[in-house]
Structure 1
Amino acid sequence: MSMLSLFIFFLLAFAMTYFMRAYALKKNIIDNPNERSSHSVPTPRGGGVAVVCSYLLALTVLIYSQQLTLHVGLTLIAAGFVIALLGFLDDHGHINSMLRLAIHFLVAIGVVMSLGGFSEVTAFNGLQLGFIANIIAVLFLVWLLNLYNFMDGINGIASVEAITTTVSMAILYAVLNTSLNSDILWLLAACIFGFLLWNFPKAKIFMGDACSGFLGLTLGILALIALKENLALFCAWIICLGVFVVDATYTLIKRVVNGYKMYDAHRSHSYQILSRKWKSHTPVTLVVVAINLLWLFPIAYLIVIEQWIYPEIGVLIAYLPLIFIAVRLKAGNPDV
């Protein structure tokens, strides 16, 4: 993948975000602040459609140039398009949460079937998971899709999480000399970066459900494709996504235990609590970048390249400080 190609798709996403902002303002697609928001100024939303469109085009180009197999490319395009369309419709009006979740499951089941299933996957150095691995894969996709939506709440955070994760994994793919195609990772990072400049440090437009769900699903599919190749690579994906996985999972569990519904609006994630404490989104987003690059990526490198420890143990080591932070910040507790 040439630097020119990356620059072209970066520019495409950047330009399309400009037009999406104009469209959102014209159609009054605005996020107005409320007591559950982490922002204080009415801001147009739906800019992430630019990421979706530019990346789907990039995948099409990769398929046409035979740098990506038709099967994998169509799986990413079809699943991503359905979820992005669902999110786009939800951005323009309200879609029943149960209907939305049912479609998420149907798409996830279709992806797992398209990838040939995961019954052959083993864990902990030989434990055969069998058919249950397929169920776990479906739940993994649905949860990652939704948690990405939950975590898209302050300027830049969803974008930098995806960029640092894809770049980290692209580096691991290159060092390991894996057969997996890293071009799809670099291109995704380029497309997201084109949007990020409109969303950080000051948000001129928000990503919207169309893109947050799309990113969660796409990253999940890429992680499952890596699982077909190497369990350690899959664990590396889980490690690199650790900030989002831990914050969203811990917060949801805590809220359910406290008697709240899963889809009740709130602002009790760790990142939301920190943004209020620090009275700014910017330092929180930068801390996420620092954690991803200085803590999570090195652990992923050690388990994949150095084969330092069992991959599953590496995930636990990576997550423990993140869990500690969520506990100390009292994530999931009723809003103060």
Structure 2
Amino acid sequence: MNMWWLLPACAIVALFLTGALRQYALARSLIDVPNARSSHVVPTPRGGGVSIVVSFLVALMLSASMDAVTWPMTWALMGAGVGIAILGFLDDHGHIVARWRLLGHFIAAIWALYWLGGLPPLTFFGLVFDLGWIGHVLAAFYLVWLLNLYNFMDGIDGIASVEAICVCLGATLLYWLTGYGAFALLPLLLAFAVSGFLYWNFPVARIFMGDAGSGFLGITLGLLSLQAAFIAPQLLWSWLILLGVFIVDATWTLFRRLLRGEKVYEAHRSHAYQFASRQYKKHLPVTLTVGVVNLVWLLPIALLVGSGYLDGLLGVLIAYLPLALLAVKFKAGAKE
């Protein structure tokens, strides 16, 4: 059955639902008021990312009911996604202690890995390694880190949305070109859901994504990348390359803050993209640059890896080196 009609439907639902959520946030005074650690200067409603969650998960269930998506993958995405979105929604409405958030993140990751089957064998320079239970533990930490780094990187207008759209469209092209087009539906659905929200979030943003949306995107992208490893081992490396902008900035920043003994779960403005937005005094140039880097630099390398022309680990190193240099240039992790 043709499922492609779900794509515009997903975007339209997200578009109108975000508008409704904006009115809800204004009525309930769910407003991000600028402070010393903010990257915005105008009080702005938050929580609009719930529209991404609802539109994508409804489309996911419809796809599964029509056998376009497997039920194990559906339960993995549904359980983990709903859990993380609810946790983020509650945190958007009132602060939840960091240790309880982290516990919820690991529970969601373990649930998803149970349905997904853990971590499949990985390839390193042509050799296949099955890490067994160690791989499953690493996969859980990977999912928790990805959902948290996505939250960290959602700090200026449009950046988290543009990143998700670029990654998902890049993965879709990758699947089509490598003969795995049947798996392109999920990343496409997510891209269209995010595009409906982006209308409201594009600089200058009229509503923010909030923890519900950013955490949901992080763990969903993580699960899609692990699914790719089951399809073909080299595709996981391609996903890691596509996610490179966020992974490098967030990881570099975290490492430097840990070295200084700072509380890494506290809000800050020391990511490279935040320093860049202050330097250029606008969010738009930074957000657009993220999109350009994804499409011009990371996507071609991901395609080479996915097509077997370049080793996965080597491709990641090549892709990440300029990103690391940019992180240094823009003082990622430096004391504010």
TM-score band, normalised by shorter chain = over 0.9
Of the candidates 284, 290, 293, which is equivalent to residue 292 of structure 2?
Answer: 290
Q: Does 1:47 align with 2:48?
A: yes
CA distance in 2: counterparts of 1:130 and 1:122, whole angstroms: 14
CA distance in 1: counterparts of 2:99 and 2:155, whole angstroms: 22
CA distance in 2: counterparts of 1:119 and 1:64, whole angstroms: 26
Q: Which amino acid aligns with 1:199?
A: N
Please state how far the C-alpha of 1:3 moved relative to its aligned partner.
Answer: 5.3
Q: Is the 8 A contact 1:120 1:129 kept in 2?
A: yes
Q: Is the 8 A contact 1:148 1:216 kept in 2?
A: yes
Q: CA RMSD in A?
A: 1.3
CA distance in 2: counterparts of 1:74 and 1:126, whole angstroms: 28
Please state how far the C-alpha of 1:120 moved relative to its aligned partner.
Answer: 3.8
Q: Which amino acid aligns with 2:25?
A: A
CA distance in 2: counterparts of 1:314 and 1:108, whole angstroms: 27
CA distance in 1: counterparts of 2:19 and 2:179, whole angstroms: 38
Q: Does 1:152 align with 2:154?
A: yes
CA distance in 2: counterparts of 1:185 and 1:309, whole angstroms: 23
Q: Within 5 A, what are the aligned runs for 1:233-252?
A: 233-252=235-254
Please state how far the C-alpha of 1:121 moved relative to its aligned partner.
Answer: 3.8
State the SS of the aligned residue for 1:95: coil
Of the candidates 211, 215, 218, which is equivalent to residue 216 of structure 1?
Answer: 218
- Show the counterpart of 1:130: 132
Unaligned runs of 5+ in 1: none
CA distance in 2: counterparts of 1:113 and 1:284, whole angstroms: 38
Please state how far the C-alpha of 1:286 moved relative to its aligned partner.
Answer: 0.3
State the SS of the aligned residue for 1:126: strand
- Show the counterpart of 2:186: 184
CA distance in 2: counterparts of 1:179 and 1:195, whole angstroms: 26
Please state how far the C-alpha of 1:122 moved relative to its aligned partner.
Answer: 4.5
- Number of residue pairs aligned between Structure 1 and Structure 2: 334
CA distance in 2: counterparts of 1:2 and 1:66, whole angstroms: 10
Unaligned runs of 5+ in 2: none
- Show the counterpart of 2:173: 171
- Show the counterpart of 1:280: 282
Percent identity reads 50
Q: Which amino acid aligns with 1:104?
A: H
Q: Is the 8 A contact 2:76 2:113 kept in 1?
A: no
CA distance in 2: counterparts of 1:4 and 1:122, whole angstroms: 36
Q: Within 5 A, what are the aligned runs for 1:51-130?
A: 51-118=52-119, 120-124=121-125, 125-130=127-132
Q: Is the 8 A contact 1:180 1:226 kept in 2?
A: no
CA distance in 2: counterparts of 1:106 and 1:74, whole angstroms: 14
Of the candidates 227, 230, 233, which is equivalent to residue 231 of structure 1?
Answer: 233
Q: Is the 8 A contact 2:147 2:216 kept in 1?
A: yes
